[in-house]
């Protein structure tokens, strides 16, 4: 036995032999992937090992979206990303994947289970179906109904559009440019606080050097933690990355304190709580009851769902569209200083077309992943076996010329105005910004309200422009969601005189 171990040690220290053995294993792996893999005939970069390395590189550098779009142009609607993963822009396949709960989320999603499994992170199909069809549809669904969204409008306007306009007015008075990207993020954060955490975080009201509410940093750290867990696995420990784990803990405890505080206020029947809480999402989550079972969401489930809960630049680049939007808003809102209601702007044709086109070209979300279920599936005429990971490429679908025209890569809101009813229906069905079917974003109606109000208030009250000699790189970069490479958008605002 000792002689055997001595032989193994001698081989281990024989570096030339180890290099030959490693090279042989690598050759066998490449040969197996190219000759015997179930997806060996799927087009893509070869060998599959190189494709995998390129995929990881572009994910790490944030250029995965641009990479997959270029791959779609080169290889068509289905191509290989590695030996066990493919990407697709096939609309029918993506519609099937997003409309069914049969397609399980891959392993990487479990790293985003913060505090407790939620709709975002769960990989258990039955658990997802139970959350979606029972608890979420009956308990959370009514929270985002048309009636509920209408009642949320005063909160959204006060915390978002009105607060944003007040902050921009300060920059306009001083004649200073401002980072529209940063203010938009703060406005979104304040709206989330107002409707889901019991009150605005008042980030927009803070002085520039005060920073924003720490919840913004906690949320960023938590998303980064999910990525770090995926990359480093068990090496991702609290003693190695204390800040990220501390942020997760603080956000959970902050949310718990808000939920328990509201429950205590409800129990005491405090009049201030009644006045504010009557409309917000937090109150509706606490009061929601499943009519079939009588069940309520417990505190931990409310915490989990609360945590889960770039149009200006395109307008600056296209002044003709910007001026037309100005005229549309001037006609709809004669008084510059009046409070804008969603009912006033929700049906404005050009406003909606601009938002549709902006979300098409610069979606804030990135591609998700799903696992092919038992029985396999066919995409673009190719059979894919069970267990294979499929990446639906949203950005690639948004650039399909057969859906959006030969100028699909151009910002042209008129495509939504000049389309026939059939073309318009096709484009809307292929706009995957909020996903679709069983995977559709439950808060999309709230997001639409915020987008319309925010853009209308800014364009109606201010003349906006990019300061001279300002370099702005809005190339989408994947950082959990899609963000501009430059990280900021400097805009100069001047008060409108009428």
* Structure-token pair, residue 315: 């307008």
* pLDDT over 50 at 380, yes or no: yes
* pLDDT over 90 at 349, yes or no: yes
0.85 exceeded by the pTM? no
Q: Which residues face 295 on adjacent strands?
A: none
In this prediction, residue 314 carries a pLDDT of 63
Q: How far apart are CA 315 and CA 319, in angstroms?
A: 6
Q: Where are the domains of the chain?
A: 1-36, 51-106+123-209+308-495
pLDDT tens track for 141-189? 555 566 667 777 888 888 888 999 999 999 999 999 988 877 887 787 7
Length of the chain: 498
pLDDT tens track for 469-482? 777 766 666 655 55
Q: Which residues face 178 on adjacent strands?
A: 491
Q: Is the dihedral of CA 205, 149, 185, 356 positive or negative?
A: negative
pLDDT tens track for 95-143? 888 887 788 777 776 666 665 655 555 666 565 555 555 444 444 555 5
ω into 47 cis (within 30 of 0): yes
In this prediction, residue 106 carries a pLDDT of 76
The answer on whether 430 is annotated among ligand-binding residues is no
* pLDDT over 90 at 353, yes or no: yes
* pLDDT over 90 at 78, yes or no: yes
Sheet holding 370-371, edge to edge: 78-82, 85-88, 389-392, 370-371
What backbone phi and psi angles, to 5 degrees, belong to 40?
-60, -30
Number of helices (H), then strands (E), in the chain: 23, 11
For 328-479, strand residue ranges (E) read 370-371, 377-379, 382-384, 389-392, 462-465, 476-479
Highest mean pLDDT among 81-90, 195-204, 221-230: 81-90
pLDDT tens track for 279-333? 566 666 666 555 555 555 554 444 444 444 456 656 656 778 888 888 898 899 9
pLDDT tens track for 192-206? 778 777 778 788 887
Q: How far apart are CA 498 and CA 496, in angstroms?
A: 6
Angle between helix 48-61 and helix 64-75 axes, rounded to 10 deg: 140
Q: How far apart are CA 283 and CA 259, in angstroms?
A: 9
* Percentage of the chain modeled with pLDDT above 70: 71
Pairing of strands 490-495, 178-179: antiparallel
CA distances from 377 to 371, 389, 394, 429 (A): 10, 12, 19, 21
Q: Which residue has the higher pLDDT, 362 or 90?
A: 90
CB distance 190 to 204 below 8 Å: yes
Q: Which residue has the higher pLDDT, 411 or 440?
A: 411
Q: Which residues face 483 on adjacent strands?
A: 477
Task: Report the CATH number of the 51-106+123-209+308-495 domain.
Answer: 1.10.630.10
Q: Which residues face 351 on adjacent strands?
A: none
């Amino acid at each position: 036995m000792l002689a055997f171990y001595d032989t193994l040690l001698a081989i281990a220290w024989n570096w030339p032999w180890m290099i030959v053995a490693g090279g042989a294993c690598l050759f066998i792996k490449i040969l197996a992937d190219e000759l015997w893999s179930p997806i060996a005939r799927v087009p893509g970069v070869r060998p599959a090992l190189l494709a995998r390395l390129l995929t990881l590189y572009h994910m790490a550098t944030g250029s995965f979206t641009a990479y997959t779009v270029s791959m779609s142009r080169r290889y068509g609607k289905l191509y290989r990303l590695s030996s066990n993963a493919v990407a697709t822009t096939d609309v029918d396949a993506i519609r099937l994947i997003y409309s069914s709960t049969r397609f399980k989320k891959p392993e990487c999603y479990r790293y985003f289970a913060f505090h407790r499994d939620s709709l975002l992170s769960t990989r258990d199909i039955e658990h997802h179906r139970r959350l979606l069809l029972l608890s979420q549809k009956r308990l959370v669904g009514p929270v985002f109904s048309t009636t509920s969204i209408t009642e949320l409008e005063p909160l959204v306007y006060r915390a978002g559009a009105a607060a944003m306009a007040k902050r921009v007015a300060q920059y306009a008075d001083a004649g200073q440019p401002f980072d529209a990207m940063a203010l938009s993020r703060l406005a979104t954060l304040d709206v989330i606080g107002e409707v889901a955490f019991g009150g605005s975080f008042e980030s927009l009201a803070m002085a520039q050097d005060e920073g924003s509410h720490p919840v913004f940093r906690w949320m960023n750290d938590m998303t980064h933690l999910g990525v770090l867990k995926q990359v480093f696995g068990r090496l991702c420990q609290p003693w190695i990355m204390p800040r990220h784990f501390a942020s997760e803990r603080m956000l959970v405890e902050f949310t718990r304190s808000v939920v328990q505080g509201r429950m205590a206020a409800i129990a005491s029947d405090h009049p201030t709580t009644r006045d504010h809480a009557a409309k917000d999402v937090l109150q509706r989550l606490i009061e929601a009851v499943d009519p079939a079972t009588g069940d309520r969401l417990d505190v931990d489930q409310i915490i989990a769902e609360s945590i889960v809960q770039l149009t200006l630049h395109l307008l600056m680049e296209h002044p003709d569209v910007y001026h037309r939007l100005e005229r549309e808003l001037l006609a709809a809102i004669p008084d510059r200083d009046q409070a804008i209601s969603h009912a006033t702007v929700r049906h404005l044709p050009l406003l909606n077309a601009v938002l549709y086109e902006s979300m098409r070209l610069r979606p804030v979300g990135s591609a998700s992943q799903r696992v092919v279920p038992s029985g396999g599936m066919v995409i673009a005429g190719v059979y894919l076996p069970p267990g294979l990971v499929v990446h639906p490429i949203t950005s690639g679908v948004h650039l399909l010329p057969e859906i959006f025209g030969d100028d699909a890569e151009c910002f042209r809101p008129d495509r939504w105005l000049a389309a026939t009813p059939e073309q318009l229906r096709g484009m809307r069905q292929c706009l995957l910004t909020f996903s679709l079917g069983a995977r559709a974003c439950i808060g999309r109606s709230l997001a639409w309200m915020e987008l319309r109000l925010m853009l209308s208030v800014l364009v109606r009250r201010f003349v906006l422009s990019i300061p001279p000699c300002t370099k702005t790189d809005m190339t989408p970069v994947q950082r959990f969601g899609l963000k501009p490479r430059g990280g900021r958008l400097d805009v100069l605002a001047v008060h409108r005189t009428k």
